[in-house]
Structure 1
Amino acid sequence: MIKNRQELFSLHWTCASLAGLAFLAGCASTPSATQKTTGWIKDEVADSYVFGYPLVLMGVARDAAVGTGPGQAPVNTLRHAQALPPIGAANPLLASLDTLDSIGWLDVGSEPVIVSLPDSHGRYVDARVLDMWTNVLWSTSSQFTTRTAGIKTQTIAFVGPGWQGDLPKGALRVDVPTRNAWMSVRIQSNGTRDLTAVKKLQRAVRVAPLSVYTGETRSASITPPRSNAADAAAAAAASGTPAAQVAALDANGFFSQLAQALPDNPPTPADPHALKILSDFGVTPGDPVNLPSAPEAIAAGLADGHERVVTPPSNLLTGNGWSWFGDGVGNYGLDYAMRAYAAATQPGIGTKDDEMRAVVTQDSEGHALNGANRYVIHFAPNQLPPVRGFWSITAYTKDGALGESAPGRLAVGDRNGARRNRDGSLDVTVSSARGKGGNWLPAPRTDLQLVLRLYAPKPQATDGSWQPPAVVRQ
């Protein structure tokens, strides 16, 4: 499977083929346009879809989240979750039950945006900012210690390309290569009785453009750029998730959004080869797209691209039926396959030091997990999840929703009463029917998936030296 730029742009053709491109390593000459068949169109559309998918997805997610309507917030403002997610199919994909999340979109196009975070007094807080290509620009993970995943009072200045000027004293400067950036602040919650303390911390988080922060202006109103294709896509699939909206785009819609987003959000790292391939079939930054008159090849390439972004790449870590991202997550470089897969399956995922999410859909014998059965996950005494923060396991439907029939306690972990056996081991029982053991994880009465979350994981969780135990049917 594709793992980097070289594989991405050479997997389907070689220098010996008439579809070869002169800029690929080892090519001696450039074939004429008349020598090319429509096969090169299919390959380039598919490769470019994988390349551009995170940027288009982030643009759709931003357009859906920025505003004054229900569930929205103005740019440079955080929208604070006020309660844990409700049970049922309306949940966000793989909603976390361990934290209350504050989400917002930053616009650094005209001036820096200043973020102030409070002292969490030892409570786990994971704050991170991603650029529009889903690379993590900054996070609080470097501040975590072996004893706590709390943070101290701090000020961060997110600065756009080309800006020069003075920042507030003591502010940490973080350069943002794209006009927009996505911010998340997740605060550990210990259940509904703990929400008051969490909300107090939320109110202490401040986000403001530099001019507002320093008092030069009273307010700021900046609207991110939005293309006609984005408006059409939102109107066509407004009720779907951002991933569903992107999947519903035809080739012209997808590449139109990509072309319009590129001027404000150049590839990071810079990749002239990827832009050259895009220009080969009529996609130029900032210009209307002019795709070739080869509808079958374009449709085939689009379908191939759809499949690739949801296909686990070969460098995904696996063990005992579980799969999870390793050390490269969050800072992808030229690993476009991993970047697209992460954006499609775990949007907003951080680095190896921020969080690990391991997913399993089958038991130790390869059968699909189903809440009608009873399973046990046995952690040996020296094999508990290695974290600096905390860990939890949650059961979801195959579609990523919380089961409607599950009771209030929907996660099992070291911060919500998980009990060890006498020898120091720990067993988690998974079933829709209450188990006899103390660590019962309620599951939906259907096919399901389990997600093991490690908050502020230790290195052995992401370098492959530690693996989650198998899910064994009883």
Structure 2
Amino acid sequence: MNGFSRSTIRLTLASMFTLAILAAYGNQPAHAATTAEQDEAATAKPVAASAITPAEARTIAKQAYIYGYPLVDSYRIQYAYFVDKSDPSYKAPWNHIKNIPNVYTPADTAVQTPNSDTPYSWAGLDLRAEPMVLSVPKIEKDRYYSIQFTDAYTFNFDYAGTATTGNDVGNFIVAGPGWKGETPKGIKKVFHSETDFILAIYRTQLFNPADIDIVKKIQAQYKVQPLSQFLGTAPPSAAPTVDFIKPLAKDEEKTSLEFFNIMNFVLSYCPTDPSEVELMKRFAEIGVGGDMAFDADKLSPEMKTAIEQGREDALQAYAEGVMKFSEGRVSAADLFGTRQSMKNNYLNRWLGTIGIYGNSEREAMYPVLRQDSEGRALSGANRYTLHFAADQYPPVNAFWSLTMYDLPQSLLVSNPINRYLINSPMLPNMKKDADGGITLYIQNESPGKDKESNWLPAPKGAFTTYMRLYWPKQAALDGSWTAPKLIRTN
């Protein structure tokens, strides 16, 4: 989702194995290529097919595809948001903030499993020339907000907001890998990114539809500016202009070898982490890495087949991971976080693209209800209930929600009452059970007028539901509270 392209470099297959080249550059900050470097990259000779066997190439290709998919998918989104002004999802140029004064609806299709609880603000940050300063106003104590910082690898490397830095006025520096400056006066905290391009995702809680004007006033006070502008000093030299390469469509990411060009391009703005130097050297054996040229047309038929087989092996590993996720053997808490917390588990990072840009566990938890109480897949052909006893509501410091998504698209579901989720701020208007709890009705058709306040509409076909617990309490974090099961009632 980070748009980082230099279109003059015609990288063909390298995207998938981008990591390899970074090892060649050690841990130096990535940079925009000079004309000479671009010419060299354009004519770079692919690794000779005889250097490794097809079997070895297949193994490396599997590793590189697993590693690179989140980078490529994230780039696709960020290209739409910050580069392609003709795209319906376009937000703003790099280093500008775009406030969205409404929640997501089924019309929003760029991001899968979108949150429809909180109006978003988006800022794609280009940190090559200098750090950026993000300023926030004082926000009332009971309103949750957060700024999630996600790098080009899709690691959530830090947060600002209610649960971390509080709701007071604040100025925050976000700095790239090459910045070594001292913290200026008036800065509350400095956040360091290991990649040149990052995403800042703002979430501002909306209490109810009538609350939207207050949210708009808060959003209007969010500010993004270069550090030099904040300090009133002369700006540094501008970073070289980036000519972003066109991303693949979502479905093409699993079928086109152009995937590797895009991966290589993204990696060219990502200095190699010390923990991945050897991994990058391994990827380099098949010509993958930032600034590398890899031409699939120059591969022997055997090597091309081997790389395609490696991709299929990776997709099989992903499918097995999805199954574990559906069965609860892998949780959403395993899919999002810092590099350190995820321990370089690249398959889990890929699984995180199911709900790309999901929060880290201490900011939000995502119990996913993909099956009913008997382990059967969910379908709008059936009817379900979900019961919360009076003392068993999700334990949160902020709020919780349950959102409906269709499958396989993982998008919000159109319905006659325009209700895409049920959340805790809606509880006062819902019908209570005799025990003081609530029962939700999850089905395609209305459960009847007397129960519609508790109805979460489902599509006619396959679907899944995601709970979101914002700023979860310890009972959720340690597992002493668990989400109830969906009960099929027909």
Q: Same fold (TM over 0.5)?
A: yes
> Which of 434, 449, 456 is residue 446 of structure 2 equivalent to?
434
1:277-305 deviation per Cα after TM superposition (whole angstroms, max 9, x unaligned) = 11111224322126652121111112222
Q: CA deviation at 1:397?
A: 1.5
Matched, 1:246 2:253: yes
Instruction: Please give the residue correspondences for 1:311-330 in structure 2 after superposition, counting only pairs within 5 Å.
Output: 311-312=320-321, 316=325, 319=328, 324-326=331-333, 329-330=336-337
1:243-297 deviation per Cα after TM superposition (whole angstroms, max 9, x unaligned) = 44533531xx222233333242024463112101111112243221266521211
Q: Report the equivalent of 2:167.
A: 151
Give the Cα separation in 2 of the matches to 1:201 and 1:219: 31
Matched, 1:405 2:405: no
Q: CA deviation at 1:57?
A: 2.6
Give the Cα separation in 2 of the matches to 1:81 and 1:247: 31
> Which of 167, 186, 189 is residue 206 of structure 2 equivalent to?
189
> Which of 58, 64, 75 is residue 94 of structure 2 equivalent to?
75
Q: 1:359 to 1:226 in 2, by over 3 A?
A: farther
Matched, 1:416 2:426: yes
Give the Cα separation in 2 of the matches to 1:75 and 1:169: 26
Contact kept? 1:129, 1:181, Cα under 8 Å: yes
Give the Cα separation in 1 of the matches to 2:324 and 2:378: 24
Q: Give me the TM-score of the superposition, normalised by structure 2.
A: 0.78
Contact kept? 1:103, 1:184, Cα under 8 Å: yes
Name the SS for the 1:140 alignment partner: strand
Give the Cα separation in 1 of the matches to 2:426 and 2:361: 24
Matched, 1:445 2:460: yes
Instruction: Please give the residue correspondences for 1:90-129 in structure 2 after superposition, counting only pairs within 5 Å.
Output: 90=109, 92-122=111-141, 123-129=143-149
- Matched residue type, 1:133: Y
Q: Which moved more, 1:59-68 or 1:218-227?
A: 218-227
> Which of 178, 183, 195 is residue 178 of structure 1 equivalent to?
195
- Matched residue type, 1:127: I
Give the Cα separation in 2 of the matches to 1:219 and 1:99: 36
Q: Report the equivalent of 2:371.
A: 362
Greater length-normalized contact order (CA 8 Å, ≥ 6 residues apart): 2
Instruction: Please give the residue correspondences for 1:35-434 in structure 2 after superposition, counting only pairs within 5 Å.
Output: 37-67=53-83, 68-69=85-86, 70=88, 71-87=90-106, 90=109, 92-122=111-141, 123-140=143-160, 143-144=162-163, 151-171=167-187, 172-216=189-233, 225-226=242-243, 230-231=245-246, 234=247, 237=248, 240=249, 243-244=250-251, 246-250=253-257, 253-268=258-273, 270-289=275-294, 292-293=299-300, 294-309=303-318, 311-312=320-321, 316=325, 319=328, 324-326=331-333, 329-331=336-338, 332-342=342-352, 344-398=353-407, 399-417=409-427, 418-434=430-446
Contact kept? 2:51, 2:285, Cα under 8 Å: no
Q: CA deviation at 1:366?
A: 3.1
Give the Cα separation in 2 of the matches to 1:137 and 1:323: 21
More helix as a share of residues: 2
Contact kept? 1:105, 1:182, Cα under 8 Å: yes
Contact kept? 2:394, 2:483, Cα under 8 Å: yes
Unaligned runs of 5+ in 2: 1-48
Give the Cα separation in 1 of the matches to 2:295 and 2:325: 36
1:55-77 deviation per Cα after TM superposition (whole angstroms, max 9, x unaligned) = 23333332222134452311011
Q: CA deviation at 1:118?
A: 1.5
Contact kept? 2:399, 2:424, Cα under 8 Å: yes
Give the Cα separation in 1 of the matches to 2:107 and 2:418: 12
1:306-364 deviation per Cα after TM superposition (whole angstroms, max 9, x unaligned) = 34345427985955xx973126731223211111111x211111211111223223222
- Matched residue type, 1:305: A
Name the SS for the 2:133 alignment partner: strand
Contact kept? 1:66, 1:72, Cα under 8 Å: yes
Contact kept? 2:208, 2:425, Cα under 8 Å: no
CA RMSD of aligned residues (A): 3.0
Give the Cα separation in 2 of the matches to 1:203 and 1:220: 29
Give the Cα separation in 1 of the matches to 2:293 and 2:393: 54
Q: CA deviation at 1:206?
A: 0.5
Q: CA deviation at 1:89?
A: 7.8
Percent identity of the aligned residues?
27
Q: 1:223 to 1:134 in 2, by over 3 A?
A: farther
Name the SS for the 2:275 alignment partner: coil
Give the Cα separation in 2 of the matches to 1:38 and 1:97: 46
Q: CA deviation at 1:80?
A: 1.5
Q: 1:289 to 1:187 in 2, by over 3 A?
A: same
Q: Report the equivalent of 1:27.
A: none
Q: Which moved more, 1:269-278 or 1:53-62?
A: 53-62
- Matched residue type, 1:104: A
Q: 1:297 to 1:213 in 2, by over 3 A?
A: same
Q: 1:470 to 1:84 in 2, by over 3 A?
A: same
Q: Give me the TM-score of the superposition, normalised by structure 1.
A: 0.80
Contact kept? 1:387, 1:457, Cα under 8 Å: yes
Number of aligned residue pairs: give it. Answer: 423
- Matched residue type, 1:78: I
Give the Cα separation in 2 of the matches to 1:35 and 1:92: 40
